Structure 1
Amino acid sequence: MSFKPAEWPRKLRSQSWYGGNSRDTIYHRGWLKNQGYPHDLFDGRPVIGVLNTWSELTPCNGSHMKELAEKVKAGIWEAGGFPVEVPVFSASENTYRPTAMMFRNLAALAVEETIRGQPIDGCVLLVGCDKTTPSLMMGAASCDLPSIVVTGGPMLNGIYKNERIGSGTHLWKFSEDVKAGKMTQEEFLEAEQGMSRSTGTCNTMGTASTMASMAEALGMALSGNAAIPAVDSRRRVMAQLSGRRIVQMVKDDLKPSDIMTKAAFENAIRANGAIGGSTNAVVHLLAMAGRVGIDLSLDDWDRCGRDVSTIVNLMPSGKYLMEEFFYAGGLPVVLKRLGEGGQLNKDALTVSGETIWNEVKDVVNHNEDVILPVDKPLMEQGGIAVVRGNLAPKGAVLKPSAATPALLTHRGRAVVFEDIDDYKAKINDEDLDIDETCVMVMKNCGPKGYPGMAEVGNMGLPPKVLRKGITDMVRISDARMSGTAYGTVVLHTSPEAAAGGPLAVVQNGDFIELDVPNRRLHLDIPDDELAARLAAWAPAHEQATGGYAWLHQAHVEGADTGADLDFLKGCRGAPVGKDSH
């Protein structure tokens, strides 16, 4: 199939670099020919950027990403496009310090300017680990060029003593078992060998698998993309088909703003509830919506998610892993169930050019113990619960499907940790005044405070409580928590402590009331005392004085709006600027 300029309804963006025979055009085109490209490749066919987050320091985005890139490029060639692979910022959740979340916005900024400043007509976003998916989608949304998501896929099931073990989920569980004396350190090390036994992202419904599902539910990935294991040959087929599809998307000028509508975000929120998805999806979807210019809020999360049943029986909420989810039919089955229950905006457009309902209406569930019937859910009201009150005036979030039902309504005495270092210094002290009825509170771990909002909200319990056989307590912080984690954990408390929110003035011995059914989080002190404490508050942490850390702390917004940098919100498009040569 040959693409000539006359076949396209408009001049391609890349032609302002490569089209014609001026000195400047020859400058751009001639240099690229040193890669061995023949002249007719510059005849007006679309240049597709394959934005690859492969990195040997991002284990989830390992060597298989290079193989997927080759398959994507094969699909682009087949459809008459001109693929160029572009390495982009790759923030690994399990290696970056202080936290990968601090660099999500930097990655999005780098991706945005990579797209805007180079001769690209469309993008394939090759992503995997937690922050790579939202950061590339945010950058692409800011430029609004035709874009399609291809995720790297989850690892195979972890195995230990002939039982499934979930990456992350069992890390937290086994760590607590060691502290409780139920597991030896040697057994923990043996289990480590089976946790991550293939390339790919976490095999639980952690943040990586959640965000892959969110990309599909938003319509930004081909149907069925989210759950295919990284090592399955069908993952490579999906990559090649996506390469073919992006060429037609460029021809049709099908952009993120056409797909990432309010209706699409509502679909994603409901899908997150149905799959028992990560709380991290909240800050990422809010940030993505802000880039497209969609008015999305925590109220939308509560409104759309409150009546959604969790029907995917996966860790950390259930017992299976992503491998079984794929074999059962994956996210298309979940979306079909939502549609049948009147909880899907069926006309939302996808990157396929079809509506989301047309993509899923004929799929079949192959295992009803993995994707449960609607009348037999893991939890009647899954979703993400948004609680508010004098402790969280702008909201905080909790994942009911990962919580202990008896603790969803609880009043307890606060045991306060000023930050993560204070927590680490005190939690193993046998003299710590704490029992299972208390509420663990941690401050200064939000977007500004950590800085970056690390995944430390699922504070491990003190050993003396664990030894009683207790496995959960109410925990409250302005931090995040890994999507692989579990527990009655209140997160993203806004305003955060480092910004002078009420969390900053909680004291040991204060009583706190959590009432998830009524969406309430209350610090039980008189209003005038709370006002006096806030008036006397002063920041306890030094601010960064330079570099990206300073930029981040100076401009990051609260978790309640997505923790994006204030100057990056909104769709700025990808205009072709004046040639500097």
Structure 2
Amino acid sequence: MGDEKKKYRSAEWFGAGSKDGFNHRSWMKNQGRPHDQFDGRPVIGICNSWSELTPCNAHLRDVAERVKRGVYEAGGFPLEFPVMSLGETLMRPTTMLFRNLMSMDVEESIRAYPLDGIVLLSGCDKTQPAMLMGAASCDLPTLVITSGPMLNGKFQGRDIGSGTDVWRFSEDMRAGKMTLEDFMEAENCMSRSNGHCMTMGTASTMASLTESLGMTLPGASAIPAVDANRYRVSHLAGRRIVEMVHEDLRMSKVMTRKAFENAIRVNAAIGGSTNAIIHLIAMAGRLGVDLSIDDFDRLARGVPLLVNLRPNGEYLMEDYYYAGGLPVVIDSLAGAGLLHADTVTVNGSSIIENSKGARNYNEEVIRPFDKPLNKDVGLAVLRGNLCPDGAVIKPSAATPELLKHRGRAVVFESIEELRREVENDDLEIDESCVMVLKGAGPKGYPGMPEVGNFPLPAKILRKGVTDMVRISDARMSGTAYGAVVLHVSPESAAGGPLALVRTGDMIELDVENRRLHLDVSDAELEKRRAAWTAPPPPLERGWVRLYHDHVTQAHEGCDLDFLAGGSGAPVPRESH
């Protein structure tokens, strides 16, 4: 084997002339592999989050086969391996509890095996950041293929979208506006194909941001899961990852500070999920890139909302792809001077070069820069005595009249209490009140579930009211909507000011001035704090206890404190 081939990390496993090399090659040959596959060609790990328990990712075995074709054509040696999969639709108590565990699975699998380059097959909400976080900690040449969105749902002659319309249908049924029969029929009409949510939820958001970070091939993020173009781009990705290994184009060269700044501005323009804040901060932390919650407010200001997709607008991902997809948005932002041009993507060019001249085929779906859906309505970061480390609201998803509001707090100590009391017509609440939920943060639930867009009281819905100010230390599904303040930090279970709020307190929300204030004196808050006791850990053993003891707060990305920064992917010690 020549010197050129010895540069690959995998040669330490498969190189000739040793007992270990004999063993490694011999065992791999029990799958019928010819000897020349071990001749020093780059080994490409296809890291697959496929699972029948993760409907978004259930077709990724087929995608993996297309990647393998491309790898073989380019002279590489593809090896597919499974990792933990996080099924948003089925997993309890919340997939966010397991994002960091999955990232550790990805990281340790990459580090322990003879891999020179990685293709990550992701899709569902948490699988995307988890895989990127884990791979970033190893910093090998890496490329991502997302699962792609489902086709539009079709119900009674109109399009419906996953998540967003579920919340609407559920509230309509509680308010007596929709029959149970229609509700059940809509269930059969919503999820028409393989793929993740076809709204601009967290999965679509993270797919878009993965592309804007430069980690996918151009235009790949919006291709529907069942469109032949997704297989085509997967085949091309297999070819490209082999070239990336030759070029030593590692993740740290792609996911730079400037790439993250591009992603933040793209997120504002597409109306992306609030979850993006937590995930991007965590991903940046694995690479040692300095990124804070305040960057999202600063960089998103002045960026118009260009994408008319639910929950912020009218259309769905299939329409978005046919209109031109993310390259149109990137080209528009680049034309306004809002993106860094001196970044590199996995194909060797910048996102600006990749998107230059992208054509918009439907300006109702993707608005021109000077005719946006809304102006300056990106994610807003609030500060105040109720959230000293920040809180988040998505103005484009809220009723405009509620973006400046003062109201009486109605407090729920847990999500279970809230769900019980909202059906109680004796609950002392009206539409001017501010609903406050505690115990739903990273430590408190644990796992920070997507319960921030909690339901309105039944008696309020019957009035025809569809939105109220709601505040919590929880997250919100990217498919949801409402005047919802999220990610209050520090959380209540960690002793943040949210833990001290009582029913009857007055709370002021002023989104324009980025202010969230609890109108209670410092002296009274100190008195309450002295009487407060921290809740006990949820479990005494296993992953949940490790998570509870080491998870950071929302403004820090909810990663485990000992996972910040990466150690690369050195060759492990010899096997014995």
- Where on the TM-score scale, by shorter chain, does this alignment land: which range? over 0.9
SS at match of 1:226: coil
Stretches of structure 1 that go unaligned for 5 or more consecutive residues are none
Contact 1:383-1:399 within 8 A present in 2 as well: yes
Counterpart of 2:463?
468
SS at match of 1:244: helix
Contact 1:101-1:454 within 8 A present in 2 as well: yes
> What amino acid sits opposite 2:567 in the alignment?
R
Counterpart of 2:52?
56
> What amino acid sits opposite 1:75 in the alignment?
G
User: d(CA) in 1 for partners of 2:348 and 2:466?
Assistant: 47
TM-superposed CA distance for 1:542, in Å, is: 4.5
Any residues of structure 2 matched to 1:18-417 within 5 Å, and which? 18-62=14-58, 64-417=59-412
Counterpart of 1:575?
570
Question: Are residue 507 (structure 1) and residue 502 (structure 2) matched?
Answer: yes
> What amino acid sits opposite 2:280 in the alignment?
L
TM-superposed CA distance for 1:6, in Å, is: 4.4
Counterpart of 2:561?
566
Question: Are residue 17 (structure 1) and residue 13 (structure 2) matched?
Answer: yes
TM-superposed CA distance for 1:21, in Å, is: 1.9
Question: Between Structure 1 and Structure 2, how many residues are aligned?
Answer: 576
User: d(CA) in 2 for partners of 1:382 and 1:118?
Assistant: 45
TM-superposed CA distance for 1:535, in Å, is: 2.5
Measured against aligned partners, the alpha-carbon deviations of 1:165-189 in whole angstroms (never above 9, x if no partner) come to: 0100000000000011100111100
Counterpart of 2:445?
450
Stretches of structure 2 that go unaligned for 5 or more consecutive residues are none
User: d(CA) in 2 for partners of 1:301 and 1:535?
Assistant: 34
TM, length-normalised to structure 2: 0.99
- RMSD between superposed Cα atoms in Å: 0.9
Measured against aligned partners, the alpha-carbon deviations of 1:5-57 in whole angstroms (never above 9, x if no partner) come to: 5445x610000000122111111111111111111111110100000111000
Contact 1:404-1:488 within 8 A present in 2 as well: yes
> What amino acid sits opposite 1:61 in the alignment?
N
SS at match of 1:435: coil
User: d(CA) in 1 for partners of 2:527 and 2:538?
Assistant: 24
> What amino acid sits opposite 2:253 in the alignment?
D
User: d(CA) in 1 for partners of 2:537 and 2:255?
Assistant: 39
SS at match of 2:383: strand
Measured against aligned partners, the alpha-carbon deviations of 1:535-568 in whole angstroms (never above 9, x if no partner) come to: 3211245532001000000000001010000111
Counterpart of 1:435?
430
Any residues of structure 2 matched to 1:523-538 within 5 Å, and which? 523-538=518-533
User: d(CA) in 1 for partners of 2:360 and 2:377?
Assistant: 20
Measured against aligned partners, the alpha-carbon deviations of 1:120-143 in whole angstroms (never above 9, x if no partner) come to: 111000001000000000000000
Contact 1:276-1:310 within 8 A present in 2 as well: yes
Contact 2:111-2:572 within 8 A present in 1 as well: no
> What amino acid sits opposite 2:231 in the alignment?
R
User: d(CA) in 2 for partners of 1:126 and 1:459?
Assistant: 32
User: d(CA) in 1 for partners of 2:457 and 2:536?
Assistant: 26
> What amino acid sits opposite 2:17 in the alignment?
N
Measured against aligned partners, the alpha-carbon deviations of 1:90-131 in whole angstroms (never above 9, x if no partner) come to: 011111111000000000001100000000111000001000
Contact 2:43-2:117 within 8 A present in 1 as well: yes
Contact 2:122-2:128 within 8 A present in 1 as well: yes
Contact 1:347-1:356 within 8 A present in 2 as well: no
User: d(CA) in 1 for partners of 2:490 and 2:68?
Assistant: 45
> What amino acid sits opposite 1:172 in the alignment?
W
TM-superposed CA distance for 1:67, in Å, is: 0.8
TM-superposed CA distance for 1:241, in Å, is: 0.7
Contact 2:537-2:548 within 8 A present in 1 as well: no
Any residues of structure 2 matched to 1:479-494 within 5 Å, and which? 479-494=474-489
Contact 2:402-2:469 within 8 A present in 1 as well: yes
Counterpart of 2:414?
419
SS at match of 2:488: strand
Ranges of 4+ aligned residues in structure 1 off by more than 4 Å? 4-8
TM-superposed CA distance for 1:299, in Å, is: 1.0
User: d(CA) in 2 for partners of 1:544 and 1:520?
Assistant: 36
Change (3 A) 1:511 1:45: same
User: d(CA) in 2 for partners of 1:419 and 1:332?
Assistant: 43
SS at match of 1:225: coil
Contact 1:5-1:45 within 8 A present in 2 as well: no
User: d(CA) in 2 for partners of 1:432 and 1:101?
Assistant: 31
> What amino acid sits opposite 1:44 in the alignment?
G
> What amino acid sits opposite 2:454 in the alignment?
M
> What amino acid sits opposite 2:90 in the alignment?
T
Identity of aligned residues (%): 62
Contact 1:445-1:478 within 8 A present in 2 as well: yes
Contact 1:445-1:479 within 8 A present in 2 as well: yes
Contact 1:5-1:43 within 8 A present in 2 as well: no
Contact 2:122-2:146 within 8 A present in 1 as well: yes
TM-superposed CA distance for 1:528, in Å, is: 1.3
Higher mean alpha-carbon deviation, 540-549 vs 394-403, is at 540-549
Measured against aligned partners, the alpha-carbon deviations of 1:427-471 in whole angstroms (never above 9, x if no partner) come to: 110001111111110001000000000000001111111111111
> What amino acid sits opposite 1:41 in the alignment?
Q
Higher mean alpha-carbon deviation, 228-237 vs 348-357, is at 348-357
User: d(CA) in 2 for partners of 1:231 and 1:24?
Assistant: 43
TM, length-normalised to structure 1: 0.98
Contact 2:333-2:369 within 8 A present in 1 as well: no
